[in-house]
Amino acid sequence: MSDIKEILDKTKKIAIVGLSPDIKKDSNEVGRYLQQKGFKIIPIYPKEDKILGEKVYRDVKMVLENENPDILVIFRKTQACEEIASEVLNAKVLPKVFWMQLGISNANAKDMLESRGVEVIENKCIKIEYQKLGE
């Protein structure tokens, strides 16, 4: 696995699966933080047209093919990760990194993605990891 600092240093666009419009939710707080740090945030959420001022996509495949994000951050239950990994692998463009937030890990999804060259980070909060770098 690559160094997290190296990954984040090379990252410009971050798509967030499950980015809630509710400012009290962790996904919204993390998205807002990353946006404030200069990253382009791409929300993926079943409802809403805009979250954090950004166009909302309904599915992963559309985001990958239209926005080409560096990292796909997952704020969904562990069980949903395999389905999301399948969506990723059905897209023409793959993200460099599939990042499962703190408390989320899925060995099957990890194996599926790594077999196609997608780096997988599990059970880590992207905001906390970025803060650790002192950025």
pLDDT digits (tens, 9 = 90+) for 79-126: 999 999 999 999 999 999 999 999 999 999 999 999 999 999 999 999
**At 16, phi and psi to the nearest 5?**
-120, 110
Structure tokens at 84: 């999301």
Contact in structure between 125 and 28 (CB atoms under 8 Å): no
pLDDT at 2: 65
Contact in structure between 135 and 37 (CB atoms under 8 Å): yes
Strands 54-55 and 50-51: antiparallel
pLDDT at 118: 97
User: Using CA atoms, how far apart are residues 71 and 17, in angstroms rounded to an integer?
Assistant: 11
pLDDT at 134: 81
Question: Per-residue pLDDT for 30 more than 90?
Answer: yes
User: What's the predicted TM-score (pTM) here?
Assistant: 0.95
Burial (CB < 10 A; 0-12, 13-18, 19+), residue 92, is: exposed
pLDDT (tens digit per residue) in 32-84 = 999 999 999 999 999 999 999 999 999 999 999 999 999 999 999 999 999 99
Strands 40-44 and 13-17: parallel
Which among 44, 39, 36, 40 has a CA at the least distance from the CA of 63?
A: 44
